């Protein structure tokens, strides 16, 4: 059996793993990055963030051109060439994956293709294409990510029942699509498929779609989804799925009444994700898992085994690519003894629906649940010149402020491009900015970024374009 020696072994080449491997190499370590898939990039690049955003952009142009007619500029009916759309999306993924491979080569990071499992706290066995390989390491970073959960009652193993992975392949445009789960993945894909022409129904077991976001931020998305989707049913669970000729028979139970039986052309199950922590040989190491299978880590991303760090979806928390990236930096800085464990950063969350929802830091709901006294200052986008020129006044920016110190505790937004705007809020929170800092920062006009400044001015009752009462002290 071939044996390779390295200082750092990283398992998984997703946004956590490749960021960790590259930083370790930049800091002078010899690194092997092990990936079982054909291409690097993980879920995010190959079957998550990037393909979903490409498809969302494509359908956004359909709605933009439709809305344009009332502004006096008309285009014809959209004609969707699915093969071309799929090739464009796949081309983006291939190009970015190639870029990761190229950047690895430039840094001298060896990408070893194969499935890795720990033999002990110092070595891994890898089923590589060329045969089994033992990789001996000084330190390892586990970045094996997560995968979609399909509850046993819904697991028919039938091509008409999809997870996000198959849905992003857009093999066809189903006439009717049931989405089980109204979280961000289900809702984003709902906007993709409804934009392409499917009759989309979303069922969500909880009382609201997109739970986790504040209700006032969800409201404009719900309103748009009601226009674009056939139906959204909350408080509803799917009891069974069965195959009925060319369709799927679905039995669901709403909050009242008898169970409902319906037929759909396709069903997308998006009810959650679980960590890829089994079959990794972790039992041969000191690494500990929690009850849900996530790897337990401290603030420096150290596991219970002194040689092994873990980052990204496999450690749980916000299962987002930029969280994985941040944890990669923390782990590598610690294993290179560059830094002491840093305090948890403010991790922004973005839902790429239409309009987008984004938030960072404390939400108003969390403040209420945790009995934290806050002042909430809001600026409606109907008062923003830029939002009106974009024909999208359906937005809101709000600040969650500590009334004692006037420090920003959280920022929430809904509106076109909110996902881009939230980065300013993340910086403000990292810098411990106050509402006054944000209000005194000159923002360019006319831009949507002014809504952050005006929400801060509104806190003091001085927003130029919105008459708001000064927050009581
Ligand atoms: P992953 O990206 O899951 O990568 C793990 C890698 O490890 C995989 O390539 C896997 O093949 C490999 N691996 C696993 N086990 C082994 C083994 N034993 N040996 C070798 N290799 C192994 N996040 C955002 O921030 N923004 C978004 O817009 C967004 N959109 C999403 C849309 C969808 C549809 C989905 C499903 C997810 C989305 N996410 C988004 C979440 C994001 O994709 C994940 O949070 C992110 O990919 C996690 O990165 P990671 O490095 O921890 O793991």
Range with top average pLDDT, 156-160, 349-353, 465-469: 349-353
- 53 CA closest ligand 1 atom index: 28
Q: Ligand 1, from 43, 331, 345, 351: best to mutate by most atoms within 8 Å of Cβ?
A: 43
User: For residue 228, is it left (φ>0), alpha (ψ between -120 and 50) or beta?
Assistant: alpha
Counting Cβ atoms within 10 Å, is residue 467 exposed (0-12), middle (13-18) or buried (19+)? exposed
Question: pLDDT tens digits for 330-388?
Answer: 999 999 986 655 666 899 999 999 999 999 999 999 999 999 999 999 999 999 999 99
DSSP β-bridge partners for residue 213? 211
Question: Which pLDDT does position 339 carry in this prediction?
Answer: 65
Question: Which pLDDT does position 203 carry in this prediction?
Answer: 98
Question: Which pLDDT does position 129 carry in this prediction?
Answer: 86
Rounded to whole angstroms, what are the CA distances from 353 to 22, 52, 128, 195, 209?
A: 32, 11, 40, 11, 12
Examine the pLDDT at 319 and tell me if it is beyond 90: yes
Residue tagged 């004692």 (tokens): 404
pTM of this prediction? 0.96
Q: How much distance in Å is there from the Cα of 145 to the middle of ligand 1?
A: 5
DSSP 3-state assignment of 208?
coil
CA-closest residue to ligand 1 atom 26: 49
pLDDT band at 473 (very low <50, low <70, confident <90, very high): low
Question: pLDDT tens digits for 2-54?
Answer: 999 999 999 999 999 999 999 999 999 999 999 999 999 999 999 999 999 99
Phi, psi at 23, each rounded to 5°: -65, -40
CA 257/CA 371 separation, integer angstroms: 37
């Amino acid at each position: 059996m071939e044996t390779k020696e390295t200082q750092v072994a990283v398992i998984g080449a997703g946004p956590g793993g490749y960021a960790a491997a590259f930083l370790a190499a930049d800091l002078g370590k010899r690194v092997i990055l092990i990936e079982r898939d054909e291409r690097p990039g993980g879920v995010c690049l190959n079957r998550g963030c990037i393909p979903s955003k490409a498809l969302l952009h494509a359908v956004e142009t359909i709605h933009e051109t439709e809305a344009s007619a009332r502004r006096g500029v008309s285009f014809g009916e959209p004609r969707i060439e699915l093969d071309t759309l799929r090739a464009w999306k796949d081309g983006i993924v291939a190009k970015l994956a190639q870029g990761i491979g190229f950047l690895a080569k430039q840094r001298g990071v060896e990408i070893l293709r194969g499935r890795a499992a720990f033999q002990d706290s110092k070595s891994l066995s890898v089923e590589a294409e060329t045969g089994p390989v033992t990789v001996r390491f000084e330190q390892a970073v586990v970045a094996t990510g997560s995968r979609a959960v399909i509850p046993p009652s819904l697991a028919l193993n039938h091509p008409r029942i999809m997870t996000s992975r198959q849905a992003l392949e857009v093999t066809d445009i189903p006439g009717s699509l049931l989405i089980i789960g109204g979280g961000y993945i289900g809702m984003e894909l709902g906007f993709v498929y409804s934009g392409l022409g499917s009759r989309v129904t979303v069922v969500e077991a909880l009382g609201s779609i997109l739970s986790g976001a504040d209700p006032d931020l969800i409201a404009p998305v719900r309103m748009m989804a009601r226009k674009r989707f056939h139906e959204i049913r909350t408080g509803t669970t799917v009891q069974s799925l069965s195959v009925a000729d060319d369709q799927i028979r679905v039995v669901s139970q709403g909050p009242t009444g008898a169970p409902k039986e319906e037929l759909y052309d396709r069903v997308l199950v998006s009810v959650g994700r679980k960590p890829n922590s089994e079959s990794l040989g972790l039992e041969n190491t000191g690494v500990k898992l929690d009850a849900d299978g996530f790897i337990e880590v401290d603030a420096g991303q150290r596991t219970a085994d002194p040689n092994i760090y873990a980052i990204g979806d496999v450690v749980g928390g916000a299962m987002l690519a930029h969280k994985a990236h941040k944890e990669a930096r923390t782990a590598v800085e610690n294993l290179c003894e560059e830094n002491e464990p840093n305090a948890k950063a403010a991790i922004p969350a973005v839902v790429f629906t239409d309009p987008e929802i984004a938030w960072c830091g404390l939400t108003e709901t969390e403040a209420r649940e945790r009995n934290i006294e806050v002042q909430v200052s809001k600026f409606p986008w109907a008062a923003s010149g830029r939002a009106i020129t974009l024909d999208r006044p359906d937005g809101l920016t709000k600040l969650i402020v500590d009334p004692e110190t006037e420090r920003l505790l959280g920022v929430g937004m809904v509106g076109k491009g909110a996902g881009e705007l939230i980065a300013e809020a993340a910086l403000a929170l990292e810098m411990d900015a106050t509402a006054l800092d944000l209000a005194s920062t000159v923002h360019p006009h006319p831009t949507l970024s002014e809504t952050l400044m005006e929400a801060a001015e509104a806190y003091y009752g001085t927003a130029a374009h919105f008459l708001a009462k000064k927050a009581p002290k």
